[in-house]
Amino acid sequence: MRIATITCHRVYNHGAALQAWALASFIKREGHEVNIIDYRPGYLCGQYDWKVNNPRFDKPIVKWFYLLAKYPSWKKSQKRKNAFDAFDAKYIAPFVTAKTYSSCDELKNNPPKADVYVAGSDQIWNTVLKNGTDASFYLDFGGKEVRKISYAASFATSSLRQGTEEFVKSKLAGLDSIAVREPSGLKLLETMNYTGTLVCDPVFLLDADVWTSEFPTTEGSGEKYVLVYDFECSKEVQAVAERIAKEKGLKIFSIGPYPLEYADKNFVNSGPDVFVSLVRNATCVVSNSFHATAFSFIFKRDMFVVKRADGLNTRMQDLLSRYGLSDRLVDGNTSSSTLLAHIDYNKVDEVLSSEIENSKEWLRNNIVLK
């Protein structure tokens, strides 16, 4: 079968890149021909461009002063971009379609040839973000002969942004089968009179041995550290990480978009392969990230999740509660006994391994179903 997937694969985010690769890699391992649709709308891919982002600064003279002021930070950011581009060239590029698309109209006018389209995974239906109201991520292209399904698509929040309800409901009507990543997603579907299936994120479709063999980077090996993955320079994340590090005599390593002053070592300019290695070799992981939590499960690391200020917490809360780990949602005031406790992964695996097998079977069946 010819399969084409679409997701947010080039947004310079570790989890987004890894889940895109994982889904394509699993489908390929199942014996199918698979492509990632190279969809790059401007709102997803322009963060490292040296350009004016604010219309207030778009007048000719003001524009050049703005760009000159921005240049030092832009130049510095290119190291991070280059690390992701190198990962993309090695792991993502072999899967992507020959044609690059920048809008849904382009996809409609010249749709990728495939027997099945798969939307997902990750936050493709997050209506707080622009991709949540982009018809492309609801597979609003291609002929009726193409089967259209979602796999582990995430709304990311427990409710849709006000005013987007009718758009989402109408676009979901074009899908032949729907699978989402969180229980909250199932509830949202029910409010729109749709039924869905709960499946695991694509990163779980490949076991720890596969991740280790495919990403043999050894960063962090031989070190004893708490790994921090923090999108918000959160004081709560800092408090939790510092308490654990002090109690256990560990260093603090950080991988993320911003350097953290309290970290012993920052990996700001590292790609997704280094991210995998750092989680694999960590003693403990503290994050406000879904995929840092997911990879902690894969490599059986002790981990804690701190709520995000931007409110995108539903997906992490759902993930933890499914495996009996709601006590791992913490803050700076959490008791030391909780922060020093180890996860019993035998209990986690009782639920997780069954969910992984069910997810694989759902995907296999829905790819070949006609």
- Domains, the chain, ranges and CATH? 2-48+80-206+355-368 (3.40.50.2000), 208-339 (3.40.50)
Q: Are 149 and 119 in contact (CB under 8 A)?
A: yes
CB atoms under 10 Å from CB of 325, counted, come to 19
Residue 186's identity, in one-letter code, is L
- Using DSSP's 3-state secondary structure scheme, residue 347 falls into helix
Predicted pLDDT at 53: 55
CB atoms under 10 Å from CB of 38, counted, come to 19
Q: What is the pLDDT along the chain (370 residues), one digit of tens a residue?
A: 999 999 999 889 999 999 999 999 999 999 999 999 999 998 887 665 545 455 555 555 555 554 555 555 655 668 889 999 999 999 999 999 999 999 999 999 999 999 999 998 889 999 999 999 999 999 999 999 999 999 999 998 889 999 999 999 999 999 999 999 999 999 999 999 999 999 999 999 999 999 999 999 999 999 999 999 998 899 999 999 999 999 999 999 999 888 999 999 999 999 999 999 999 999 999 998 889 999 999 999 999 999 877 655 677 788 898 899 999 999 888 999 999 999 999 999 999 999 999 999 999 999 986 5
CB-neighbour burial class of residue 49 (10 A; exposed 0-12, middle 13-18, buried 19+): exposed
**Beta strand pairing call for 302-306 and 329-330:** parallel
Predicted pLDDT at 52: 45
Predicted pLDDT at 50: 43
Q: Is the pTM of this model over 0.95?
A: no
As a whole number of angstroms, the distance between CA 21 and CA 29 comes to: 12
As a whole number of angstroms, the distance between CA 32 and CA 247 comes to: 49
As a whole number of angstroms, the distance between CA 286 and CA 167 comes to: 36
Q: Which residues contact 213 (CB under 8 A, 6 or more apart)?
A: none
CB atoms under 10 Å from CB of 126, counted, come to 22
Residue 152's identity, in one-letter code, is A
Mean of the per-residue pLDDT values for the chain? 90
Which residue reads 């969910």 in tokens? 355
CB-neighbour burial class of residue 330 (10 A; exposed 0-12, middle 13-18, buried 19+): buried
Which residue reads 């179903």 in tokens? 369
Angle at 131 between CA 129 and CA 137, to 5 degrees: 150
As a whole number of angstroms, the distance between CA 236 and CA 137 comes to: 34
